[in-house]
């Protein structure tokens, strides 16, 4: 069903009465969507301007509202350029325009694509062939559609540059891939790749902490997986830090069972843990639980005092 200007006006007035801010944000996108279905551009623009005029008269006492209306007007005047671009898309790119194509490939509504174009204004005049090529590349490298919609700045990059960057990311074994990795400056992605390389050098080609712990503690991966279920954040611990902690635990004859009971130990620094262990060993005490190494300074000092008192008591006997 083809939308009429009256329908647009009613929708805009309804949005305005209920949520002025939402109206300001979505009105341009609403008109874009209706244009796709064949509404006459001039008629829509005239009706829209008449609506804006009526709303200004009605709400002239509210400066905030006037600012919101000016934002709507700005979006409306951009429609003329966009409508020409959509016609150009259809003429030169196989009967489809950028809004229809993006909606199909991103598996979302055309209204959502219109909202994206209102938010990312460069997409309005960005060459359609580059938009298509970039989207194909991003999807090929398994970047999630939702992530793409949340960060469209990657479309401004050159497709050849995107492929080069994504190949380096894939070779480094980084997953999942996010759009920011495509558009960030070189030093940022270089650090990310370097970090992943160090991680894999320590954790192995499998690159997971579950595999690494099962290898170091010589146990089944399913057993180690319990740790991840208790504390999923552990999978983000760096490779070098994991190695230091595991070395400390194995050297002091702690087992995977100890780690399963207190997985937080993998987040803690080895230096502090080693210092505490040395202090406790001076009083003939080796902790049976790793929780001692995770206590706050206050809690640990209280624990140490109890150990000291117990040791002194035994010494007097």
Indicate the angle between helix axes 110-119 and 98-106, nearest 10 degrees: 110
pLDDT at 113 over 90: no
Instruction: Give the pLDDT score at 133.
Output: 93
DSSP three-state, residue 141: coil
Please state the separation of Cα 42 from the chain's center in Å: 40
Query: Tokens 């209280």 map to which residue?
Result: 302
Instruction: Give the pLDDT score at 185.
Output: 94
Instruction: Give the pLDDT score at 73.
Output: 54
pLDDT at 71 over 70: no
Whole-angstrom distance, CA of residue 287 vs CA of residue 209:
25
Whole-angstrom distance, CA of residue 131 vs CA of residue 159:
9
| pLDDT tens, residue by residue, 241-263 | 889 999 999 999 999 999 999 99
Nearest residue to 221 via CA among 196, 204, 200, 197: 204
Q: Rounded to two decimals, what is the model's pTM?
A: 0.58
- Binned at pLDDT 50, 70 and 90, residue 88 comes out as low
Cα–Cα distance list, 303 to 177, 259, 278 (Å): 45, 20, 14
Identity of the highest mean pLDDT range in 51-60, 90-99, 116-125:
116-125
Share of the chain above pLDDT 90, in %: 39
Q: List the end-to-end C-alpha distance of the chain, in Å, as a whole number.
A: 96
Residue 192 burial class via C-beta count within 10 angstroms: exposed 0-12, middle 13-18, buried 19 and up: middle
pLDDT at 296 over 90: yes
DSSP three-state, residue 140: helix
**Which range (4-18, 33-47, 213-227, 237-251) has the least confidence?**
4-18
- Binned at pLDDT 50, 70 and 90, residue 57 comes out as low
| pLDDT tens, residue by residue, 188-228 | 999 999 888 887 778 776 667 888 888 899 988 888 888 88
Instruction: Give the pLDDT score at 295.
Output: 93
Instruction: Give the pLDDT score at 119.
Output: 86
Tell me the mean pLDDT in the region 284-312: 93
83: Cα within 13 Å, side-chain hemisphere: 21
Instruction: Give the pLDDT score at 29.
Output: 56
- Binned at pLDDT 50, 70 and 90, residue 174 comes out as confident
Query: Tokens 């006037």 map to which residue?
Result: 66
pLDDT at 298 over 80: yes
- Binned at pLDDT 50, 70 and 90, residue 3 comes out as very low
Alpha helix segments (H runs only) across 175-289:
180-183, 186-203, 209-216, 221-230, 239-251, 256-261, 270-282
- Binned at pLDDT 50, 70 and 90, residue 23 comes out as very low
Answer for the pair 193, 187: CB distance below 8 angstroms, yes or no.
no
């Amino acid at each position: 069903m083809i939308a009429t200007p009256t329908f647009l006006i009613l929708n805009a007035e309804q949005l305005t009465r209920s949520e002025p801010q939402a109206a300001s944000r979505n009105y341009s996108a609403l008109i874009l969507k209706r244009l796709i279905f064949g509404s006459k551009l001039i008629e829509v623009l005239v009706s829209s301007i008449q609506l804006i005029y009526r709303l200004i008269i009605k709400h002239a006492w509210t400066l905030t509202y006037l600012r919101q209306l000016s934002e709507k007007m700005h979006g409306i005047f951009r429609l003329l350029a966009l409508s020409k671009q959509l016609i150009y898309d259809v003429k030169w790119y196989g009967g489809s325009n950028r809004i229809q194509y993006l909606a199909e490939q991103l598996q979302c509504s055309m209204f959502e694509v219109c909202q994206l174009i209102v938010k990312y204004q460069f997409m309005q005049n960005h060459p359609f062939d580059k938009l298509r090529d970039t989207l194909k590349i991003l999807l090929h490298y398994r970047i999630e559609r939702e992530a793409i919609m949340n960060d469209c700045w990657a479309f401004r990059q050159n497709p050849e540059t995107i492929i080069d960057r994504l190949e380096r990311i894939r070779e480094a074994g980084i997953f999942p891939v996010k759009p920011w990795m495509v558009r960030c400056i070189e030093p940022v992605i270089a650090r990310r790749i370097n970090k992943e390389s160090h991680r894999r050098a320590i954790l192995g080609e499998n690159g997971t902490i579950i595999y690494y712990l099962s290898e170091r503690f010589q146990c089944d991966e399913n057993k180690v997986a319990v740790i991840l279920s208790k504390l999923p954040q552990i999978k983000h611990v760096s490779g070098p830090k994991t190695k230091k902690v595991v070395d400390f635990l194995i050297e002091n004859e702690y087992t995977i069972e100890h780690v399963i009971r207190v997985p937080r130990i993998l987040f803690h620094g080895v230096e502090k843990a080693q210092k505490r262990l040395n202090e406790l060993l001076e009083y003939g005490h080796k902790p049976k639980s790793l929780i001692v190494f995770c206590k706050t300074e206050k809690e640990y000092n209280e624990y140490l005092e109890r150990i000291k008192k117990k040791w002194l008591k035994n010494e007097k006997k």
